[in-house]
A and B are shown apart, each in its own frame.
Chain A
Amino acid sequence: MVLLVLLSMLPVLAAFALSRRRHLTVIVGMGLFSLILSAVYLLLHAPDVAVTEAAINAALVTFVYIIAIRKTGRLVVVSDEIPGLLHREGEQISGLEHEILSGFARQLGLELVIRFLPVEQIPRALQQGEADIGAGGIISEIDDNRVLKTQGYLPTALYHLSIQTKPHLKQEESAITGFFSDLREEFQAGKIQACTLDLARFVALSRSDLSPYTVRRLDGLFSYIFLIAPARERLHHQFVSYLSKLEEGGELEKLTRRYFS
């Protein structure tokens, strides 16, 4: 009889649903459970109860749970779009930093969500708790003690570009503000007079014409780092140990060679 079949499906479904690790699987399983329970109520000659149970438990409760878990299973990363490190290719996002972050999120069991922000707004977003990790070619010399820093994962160099003008004329230094794509457009339009760029940005800009500029490499050892929100100390420890393990295992070199060879 149909009722006995449905009744015997109920404990199996409940036990299966409550033993899963991902929140979403458990919630969808319990929604399915309440739908079958509503059918059981109908077959037990209780149509009022069946309609109310279906409307409330299967529809509303499932929705309310899904809204409630929205932020708990995610790792939110704010970054600027830098070719080679974290850039969009059509619908996908790829790059060296994206690979590192995806591996980390997979290890933690979270979903990776990337939001694009200009570089100077990243520390504030991290401090306000709107994101967990900041990325996008951030130099280790960044002077901001509001956020936590990781160790450098990739050594880089800083280049200073300036237009060859008469040396006694003062040059305006364009700081890196706004999105990198805007900077690239201004570069191609020739509006930039001087700026300081790191290696990845320099490589991306070298596609356009660099002849009017003098390029001078700055002294010192720099490297790319990640920034972590100050409230997430445990995440900081986990990420630092993850980066160390990547370096020891040699995976970091393989990834770097794939994107920057």
Chain B
Amino acid sequence: MLMIAGVIVSVILFGIGLLGMIFRRDLIIKLLSLGLVNGSVMLCLVSLGSRANGIAPIIRGPENAGYVNPLPQALVLSAIVINFAILALALVFVMLLVEHYHSTDSQRIEHEIKREREL
């Protein structure tokens, strides 16, 4: 039941993030929406691995039942760190672009680049 709820919420978040990426013109908000899409996929993975009355996969004693699936958690851990590294690099590029064109509007930057290319 929790698994289904997690998956449905992650699809909704994916939709919101995609909407933000397409329809907001500001570069920084586009990047934030990309982060939201990443977070939704990670939520889906972790909730697919959970179970109804589970325990965290850390072995404390000889009891041997009810652990949630540890495999998606390992994947998501790597994904979070890689996500952050790529985000830092993408922000560097956005910063350099904004400094050069004095605007964070993606359409205006494209317009200026087209104008520069024509000259």
| A contacts, CB < 8 Å to B | 3-4, 7-8, 10-11, 14-15, 18, 23, 26-27, 30, 33-34, 37, 40-41, 44-49, 52-53, 56-57, 60-61, 64-65, 68-69, 71-72, 231-232
Contact = CB atoms under 8 A, between A and B. Distances in A.
Q: Which DSSP category, helix, strand, loop or mixed, fits chain B's interface? A: helix
- Chain B CB count within 10 A is highest, among A47, A52, A71, for A52
Interface residues of B, number: 47
Contacts of B58: 47
A8 B102 CA distance: 39
A133 to B, nearest CB: 13
B80 A72 contact: no
Interface of B: 2, 5-6, 9, 12-13, 16-17, 19-20, 24, 26, 28-29, 32-33, 35-36, 39, 42-43, 46-47, 49-50, 54-58, 68, 73, 76-77, 80-81, 83-84, 87-88, 91, 94-95, 98-99, 102, 104
Contacts of B36: 14, 18, 30, 33
A56 B35 CA distance: 12
B73 A30 contact: no
Given A26-B29, A56-B80, A8 B9 contact: yes
Contact of B73 (A33, A46, A72): A46
18 contacts: A4-B5, A18-B16, A18-B17, A18-B36, A30-B32, A30-B35, A33-B36, A44-B46, A44-B47, A45-B50, A45-B68, A47-B56, A49-B77, A49-B80, A65-B28, A68-B94, A68-B95, A231-B102
